[in-house]
Amino acid sequence: MRLHLYLSADKPLPFEHLTTLKGAFHRWAGHNQELHDGLSLYSLSWLRGGRGSRGGLHFRDGAHWTISAHDPALIHEVISGVVSKPGLDLGLHVREARIQNPPEFQDGEQWFRVLSPVFVKWETEKGKPADHLTYLDPRTDELLTETLCRKLRQAGLDDTGATVRFDRDYPGAKTKLFAYKSVQCRASQCPVIVTGTAEQIRFAWCVGVGHSTGLGCGALE
């Protein structure tokens, strides 16, 4: 299930605002410890509708934010939180909310645009910072698939045959640098192709692909 939130922005937003979105989500969801500690069986998009300048991001016509989850109960919990406290930090305020049920997917391959860049980490050695891999690295397909399959198993679903890969033939593919808690991260603004059953594809649409979907990466359109 997916929740579309339409926000008003009273002032320019700083570029490093992902912690504000994540914090609002967890407040609305009730500070569930499993959401913090477990695998993210949900995905948050980045805000859409903004224009960047030296002063930050301007949302003159408002911002569009999506929250998706495998468990509809989580979305309903978030809605209750939004109704109770529609204000976010940084001058953001929810002015409208809409629910979207998952599309009717078919078995096979499904091409997806991304609502936020796909982040892929490669742990080279324990205790050392992970490498950030982009769509140009063929290792990312294996890591994307491993992550999706692990989440499928966590949700009690069959992961047999499920795969994810970047569409490297897409002409507009590029990398995107973003910051989270002052850490610079490199991600991929590139469509992905999910292969599997209709249930597996629907699951990917809900939970996103790659790492840090609960932070705002890898949300699928």
List the domain boundaries for the chain: 2-100, 108-207
Q: In the predicted model, is pLDDT for residue 143 greater than 80? A: yes
- pLDDT level of residue 82 (50, 70, 90 thresholds): very high
- Taking 90 as the threshold, does the pLDDT of residue 100 lie above it? yes
Do 2-100 and 108-207 agree at the fold level? Answer: yes
State both tokens at 121. Answer: 């980490």
Euclidean distance between CA atoms 90 and 106, whole angstroms: 41
Q: Does domain 108-207 have CATH number 3.30.70.1900?
A: yes
Q: What count of residues does the chain have?
A: 221
- pLDDT category, 56, cuts 50, 70, 90? confident
Q: What percent of the chain has pLDDT over 70?
A: 96
**Angle formed at CA 158 by CA 147 and CA 112, multiple of 5 degrees:** 55
The predicted pLDDT at position 30 comes to 85
Taking phi over 0 as left and psi of -120 to 50 as alpha, with beta for the rest, 49 belongs to left
Amino acid (one-letter) located at 67: I
Lowest-pLDDT choice from 20-29, 101-110, 180-189: 180-189
Instruction: Determine whether domain 2-100 maps to CATH 3.30.70.1890.
Output: yes
Residue 182's pLDDT is what? 74
Helix (H) or strand (E) holding 201: helix 198-207
Task: Please enumerate in sequence order all residues whose Cβ is within 8 A of that of 138, keeping only pairs 6 or more positions apart, or say none.
Answer: none
* Environment class of 31 (CB within 10 Å of its CB; exposed 0-12, middle 13-18, buried 19+): exposed
Q: Would the CA dihedral through 193, 196, 198, 199 be positive or negative?
A: negative
Q: What share of the chain is helix, strand, coil (3-state, %, to 5)?
A: 25, 35, 40
Q: What is the mean pLDDT of the chain?
A: 93
Tell me the two tokens of residue 165: 């890969």
Q: Please give the model's pTM, rounded to 2 decimal places.
A: 0.94
Q: Which residue has the higher pLDDT, 9 or 197?
A: 197
> What band does 85 get if pLDDT is binned at 50, 70 and 90?
very high
* CA-closest candidate to residue 25, choices 10, 44, 53: 44
Whether the per-residue pLDDT at 34 is higher than 70: the answer is no
Residue 119 DSSP label:
B
